[in-house]
Structure 1
């Protein structure tokens, strides 16, 4: 092999790509990871200290086996890296009775035998006084949920990959790539040209640049997150307050206990995401999004509804059905990709990295990936 020749190139070293680099490198493969920005940057969707991991999954029971594997891998990866990545706080799905999300999460618990409890508004108020919910709201409590330390997860995966010989090059985006007649790929950046037997594409909001077949099925949007001054921080410590998804009149929001920041973190509204071009440098949340977040806090979490301390935007790639796409590039089996995770993908990253490594080396996965195929949009 020449110095510019690899077994696998990974384009995009965020949540998914860093995990893929680790799973490929620990198999003894020569791996190159290319990242367009700094490691752990705030231009995509993997920053912001924390990401929720929910085992009860209202988006569909077919996700549960993958997120269970991810939960296991986050613990194992953290142990191997000497970093605490997985924080188990329990998770709550909160919505008006009959609204759908709580019932769908309940069904995923029943389908997979997950430990859970259904809670009415009175019991929610007793256990979690940080909330102030309407009488008609109900909750589904699942004790295995929690959060993953997001930037630390990327650093852990990259550090482990490098310890097994992977090369990680930051501020060097893939400009283009072409398949070769021999069944490999050629990748070009502004610093050089590289060859590999396989290519893994995990470039998030930029995925359609590398996989043009996605152009009609992936939209790029901005999502807002903020950390707010908390009047009673004792109500929101990780030992007493869970991660949660809240469906309310203002939209669907997600929140966390306090962690490494003095403010209370809330993101959303999920269905208030605004289209954007990821090539724009500005990631500032819109005033409309911030206003909706503040309205949600004032109404449902009043003790966390102080002035904003930090406001950030995330770039999400979203499919029409909001399910993932994990597949091979059409007509090019040596190039596989995972993206368009529609704002709920980070929790799966440890397992999707393993899936991509398996697809790259054997073309097989232990999971049923049919729900995530690109050709579902062809009908």
Structure 2
């Protein structure tokens, strides 16, 4: 290591939802930790703004996801206890899907095998229980009563507060311009404001991973996504009576939330979107006709009581891997560099647990959690 550079045990590049959680875990364990972010989280340049975010435990993708979701739930509650903040609302989540598109039975079986409570519902049962949901008999539902949603921006702010309280250092509004490995195995992180060294590095740059090339190339594409909040006809969509939801249809997949404090029903589309390149201007909501049209059409088809005027629109970024599963692994060349990326629009709920996993990998080189589905080597071909 150069004697002129400030040295740390671990540097975290990208202090959004995953990075800030990891920073807290590292500092709490006594590691001298530096967090560097291109902005100042919570902010609107990544994937965590425009709260809330769904948290579900009956997850597609097998046991690794379900175990991680259960652990994440525990960790969110621990953060609530540490800060005194309300971060998780157990409003329930209603998952509905056209049976020609998706069947929940396998997911239900996987979830129940790990003790997750779920209810399987027919289209008729959905309509009876939630009269404001319009589905045909060809639809089925899976309701998770102990699921709900997280206040994402508040959660990121809480982790930042606790990371700093635990001794982590933070550099905001600073882009990383390059990384270099040294002869002794340490890593130098260069920024416009200076350079820093660490024995270990965690890279969690979200939709901005391309900015870290050529040090690391990942099969991640960044996509512009939109969400909207719509006025409702009555109080049946209020958060005290209506759950979070997902809708799988032949015309796309959607997700959303009840009206929280009169904000309107929030809805977004999981598939589709417009490609975006880091550093390029992100078009505002309404720049494309489909920004509102896609969301409104879904509401008209399935939640017709929530098709009032658009109260608010927002844009964010997805970081998509080819299979939409995460990447959590070591750098293929440098085992003291840990990668966390490709959270593909469904990762926030796991952030509390992923921070723990990343700290394990950085400090111990391994973790007790099953991250085999998230290995970078699956894209080797």
Sort the TM-score into its range (normalised by shorter chain).
over 0.9
SS in 1 for 2:373: helix
Match of 2:239 in 1: 238
The 5 A counterparts of 1:217-296 are 217-232=219-234, 234-260=235-261, 262-268=263-269, 270-285=270-285, 286-296=288-298
Q: How many Å separate the matches in 2 of 1:224 and 1:196? A: 37
Preserved CA contact (<8 Å) 1:10 1:31: yes
Give RMSD over aligned pairs. Answer: 1.8
Judge which range, 151-160 or 174-183, deviates more. Answer: 174-183
Long gaps (5+) in structure 2: none
2:365 is aligned with 1:363: yes
SS in 1 for 2:271: helix
Match of 1:138 in 2: 140
Judge which range, 63-72 or 202-211, deviates more. Answer: 202-211
Match of 1:337 in 2: 339
Deviation at 1:290, TM superposition (A): 2.1
Q: How many Å separate the matches in 2 of 1:132 and 1:163? A: 48
Q: How many Å separate the matches in 1 of 2:231 and 2:280? A: 29
Q: How many Å separate the matches in 2 of 1:184 and 1:366? A: 25
Q: How many Å separate the matches in 2 of 1:26 and 1:261? A: 38
Deviations 1:235-275 (A, max 9, x none): 1222221111101233100011222562210011x221221
Deviations 1:320-360 (A, max 9, x none): 11111001111111110101111111111000001000000
2:121 is aligned with 1:116: no
Q: How many Å separate the matches in 2 of 1:132 and 1:247? A: 13
The 5 A counterparts of 1:298-377 are 298-377=300-379
Normalised TM-score (structure 1): 0.95
Preserved CA contact (<8 Å) 2:300 2:307: yes
SS in 2 for 1:181: coil
Q: Which residue, 7, 10, 35 being the options, matches 2:9? A: 7
Runs of 4+ in 1 over 3 A off after TM superposition: 211-216
Deviations 1:36-78 (A, max 9, x none): 0122111111111111111001233331001110011011111
SS in 2 for 1:332: coil
Deviation at 1:302, TM superposition (A): 1.2
Q: How many Å separate the matches in 1 of 2:220 and 2:51? A: 26
